[in-house]
Amino acid sequence: MSRPGVKSIILILALVPSALSAEKKPKDESLLTLERIFASSEFAAKSMATRWAVDGNGYLVLEDAAAGGGGQNIVRYDAKTGEKTIVVAAADLVPPGETKPLAVNDYAFSQSGSHLLIFTNSQRVWRANTRGDYWVLDRAAHELRKLGGDAAPSTLMFARLSPQADKAAYVRENNIYVEDLRSGEIRALTADGSKTVINGTFDWVYEEEFDLRDGFRFSSDGRAIAYWQIDTAGVAEFTMLDNTAALYPRLTRFAYPKTGQQNPICRVGVANLADAKTRWLEVPGDNREHYIARMDWMPGARRLLLQQLNRPQNTNRVMIANPESGKIETFLAEKDKAWVDVHDELIWVGGNQQFTWISERDGWRRGYLFTPERKSLEELTPKGYDAIQLLHVDEKQDHPAAYYIASPENAAERYLYRVGLDGRGARRLTPDDQPGWHDYQISPNGKWALHRFSRMGSPARVELIALPDHKPIRVLVDNKKLCKRLDKLARRPVEFFRVEIENGVALDGWCIAPPKFDPKKKHPLLIYVYGEPAGQTVTDRWGGAQYLWHLMLAQRGYFVMSFDNRGTCSPRGRDWRKCIYRQVGILAPADQAKAVEKVLAERPYLDAERVGVWGWSGGGSMALCAIFKYPKLYKTAMAVAPVPNQRLYDTIYQERYQGLPSDNVEGYLQGSAVNFAGQLEGNLLLVHGTGDDNCHYQSTEALINELVRHKKLFTMMAYPNRSHSIQEGAGTTLHLRTLLTDYLEKNLPPGPK
């Protein structure tokens, strides 16, 4: 989630008749405009999409082919020497009878490297482009063939090659198919796929909240496939209306379990490729009231490892399954009084006799080594601070070690650490003279890493480093041209600070100040908020167009600030993150209001009569809570794609943090902004896409009804058939940002007074 008495009250479609044209002024390189930020590529940062080769001694990139046929080559760069080799030429990706190579949306090599799987002609399904066409290249024979037989274009999903590269499997219209790469024979592994029965992929809620998309796994011997099956029969459907696609409106219906409502059935089966028969795992518990959030084969054994959450999501049971018998044994149960998370940082070590595990059981997010045979946990990362992300375990060096991301002293930053597998010798590897945000993509052999680092207002630099000494090898992306453009802008460095809101509680914050301001005068303050457990706004990393928009507002005379309240996912310990349990929409706006009051008191140049707040998704919900619950403090609010009523959001996200509506009635009432609409006193702008499948337009309409009932004036902009990101359609992003800017300047005037 992401989150005066008048007879005829509202309306109101907020158009921007003058703002779009008003931006077209003579160019001043020191000042930003909406067109420069959102309608040009002037400030686009360069990036580099890379992946490591299997041996770990080189990395792969897609590069435009120099030859006249177009297309892209898959190129390997040697990590040590930088030597470039074309691994697969674009010319090899020309389909029979065609003259142009395939457009490569994604690719994957078989384990031996003998075959290449190409994903192309992709189409969007909810968040990502996951439906398309797949082709297989036999590299030795230079033969390229399309998978799917007579399947219609762009109907295959999540194709993958078997470990032996003799077969491919994929999902088509909710069934799993296996295709023999030698004979071309296609067999249906499942046959019950339908509108409600989904094999090998997921429904809306599993995809959105557990980040699950591809839902099947080959066994290491290639003889079986384990897969999820989701049955949405009995789950209430949500309906979206598209008024603009055709002469008559079109309806889109999909299963969407709202808080407290019936969930889909989820189960895992193992199908033998020889007879296409499925053995269902005997996972304990009601399969509507539990979630199977992770599943994969255990390396070196014909067993499956599952992570199962109960519906309140306060227990994660790690189970080992026997696919022949279907029997299940629980080896580990992670519990919490609030909620627990599923983990992707599970790495097998010690000859596949142990795996890494993440737990907050002692108050910090730490790495452990778990031994299933002994059911024992051994400490891996140190006490006293959060291991934000476990990246890699290197057992091949003289001193086996784990690499992880942490930032013990500053929650807004991220750094690389290394610790021995005995839990000793933890040390920071990122140089001390590189403050900011660091990401690492470590090679499979642990010898190299692609290192990306940035700061707010400074775009990412990408370099290759050697491990474990963090020695720079070569710069891959420097963004020097963009840095020069940014240096010409009128701006101050972003200020990072902490504000104490009560004894022992200090919130992290940042401030973008006007390039020049008179401290003896009063200036407006705009707060950017998210505030929910799924996000963090106070991060010292390049912010792209969002940062530039905030900087543009500062150039026009606003102070722009953001705070991470308690309950956000900052690396400040378990109690910091989980004290918000059953208090979403209650604790966060209270913390935010205290922070605003404190900075107003400490900084006399801020104007208490001109305080605004804005946010998107969960941040839109927080902006509503702010202006409704603290009407004397906030004068203007802009809420984009909010969820004003928590009862209208999905089970997995909302129940994780609030509990079920039946056992937290007061929490849902007090945490939902819609119940405080009658307290509105200031200026409110609501913005929503009518095609938002995530945070439904329905919830904003319910809020409109409450505002009307209480005779409250406000402004509303509905973007027809736009999704949660409100980006579809020509000119949409520029229009939206112009709308926000225009509304802010009219209702929270910029500049000193």
User: In the numeric block, which tokens belong to residue 218?
Assistant: 């080959």
Cβ(642)–Cβ(621) below 8 Å? yes
Q: What's the pLDDT tens digit per position in 518-540?
A: 999 999 999 999 999 999 999 99
The overall average pLDDT reported for the chain is: 95
Question: Of 137 and 1, which is predicted with more confidence?
Answer: 137
Q: What is the mean pLDDT of residues 398-403?
A: 93
Q: What's the pLDDT tens digit per position in 646-686?
A: 999 999 999 999 999 999 999 999 999 999 999 999 999 99
Query: In whole angstroms, what is the distance from residue 243 CA to residue 241 CA?
Result: 6
187 pLDDT higher than 50: yes
Please report the pLDDT score of residue 25 as a whole number.
52
Query: In whole angstroms, what is the distance from residue 202 CA to residue 158 CA?
Result: 12
11 pLDDT higher than 90: no
Percent of the chain with pLDDT over 70: 96
Cβ(416)–Cβ(440) below 8 Å? yes
720 pLDDT higher than 50: yes
Query: In whole angstroms, what is the distance from residue 667 CA to residue 739 CA?
Result: 34
Q: What's the pLDDT tens digit per position in 349-377?
A: 999 999 999 999 999 999 999 999 999 99
285 pLDDT higher than 60: yes
Q: What is the mean pLDDT of residues 19-23?
A: 46
Q: What's the pLDDT tens digit per position in 199-238?
A: 999 999 999 999 999 999 999 999 999 999 999 999 999 9
Query: In whole angstroms, what is the distance from residue 512 CA to residue 31 CA?
Result: 15
Integer CA distances (angstroms), 625 to 4, 540, 588, 679, 704, in order: 21, 26, 9, 10, 15
742 pLDDT higher than 70: yes
Please report the pLDDT score of residue 10 as a whole number.
33
Please report the pLDDT score of residue 2 as a whole number.
46
489 pLDDT higher than 70: yes
User: In the numeric block, which tokens belong to residue 12?
Assistant: 């109101």
Per-residue DSSP letters for 246-299?
A: SSS-EEEEEE--BTTSPPPEEEEEEEETTT--EEEP---S-TTSEEEEEEEEPT
Please report the pLDDT score of residue 300 as a whole number.
86
104 pLDDT higher than 90: yes
Q: Flag the least confident range among 60-74, 204-218, 507-521, 573-587.
A: 60-74
Q: How large is the angle between the packed helices 732-747 and 544-555, nearest 10 degrees?
A: 30
Please report the pLDDT score of residue 24 as a whole number.
52
Cβ(262)–Cβ(255) below 8 Å? no
Please report the pLDDT score of residue 9 as a whole number.
31
- 397: confidence class by pLDDT, cuts 50, 70, 90: confident
- 1: confidence class by pLDDT, cuts 50, 70, 90: low
Q: How large is the angle between the packed helices 618-629 and 587-602, nearest 10 degrees?
A: 70
How big is the chain by its Cα radius of gyration, in Å? 27
Please report the pLDDT score of residue 4 as a whole number.
32
User: In the numeric block, which tokens belong to residue 245?
Assistant: 């696609």
Q: What's the pLDDT tens digit per position in 591-615?
A: 999 999 999 999 999 999 999 999 9
Q: What's the pLDDT tens digit per position in 550-563?
A: 999 999 999 999 99
- 7: confidence class by pLDDT, cuts 50, 70, 90: very low
Please report the pLDDT score of residue 16 as a whole number.
40
**Full-model pTM:** 0.95
- The full length of the chain comes to 753
Tell the CATH topology of 343-478.
Answer: Neuraminidase (2.120.10)
Please report the pLDDT score of residue 396 as a whole number.
87
- 68: confidence class by pLDDT, cuts 50, 70, 90: low
User: H-helix or E-strand containing 664?
Assistant: none
Query: In whole angstroms, what is the distance from residue 370 CA to residue 379 CA?
Result: 9
Please report the pLDDT score of residue 612 as a whole number.
98
Query: Thinking of the domain 19-44+484-747, which architecture would CATH place it in?
Result: 3-Layer(aba) Sandwich (3.40)
Q: What is the mean pLDDT of residues 268-287?
A: 97
Integer CA distances (angstroms), 221 to 22, 167, 179, in order: 65, 12, 16
747 pLDDT higher than 60: yes
- 398: confidence class by pLDDT, cuts 50, 70, 90: confident
18 pLDDT higher than 90: no
Sign of CA dihedral 177, 181, 182, 184: positive
Q: What's the pLDDT tens digit per position in 165-177?
A: 999 999 999 999 9
Query: In whole angstroms, what is the distance from residue 238 CA to residue 212 CA?
Result: 20
Instruction: Indicate the domain borders of the chain.
Output: 19-44+484-747, 48-188, 194-338, 343-478
541 pLDDT higher than 80: yes
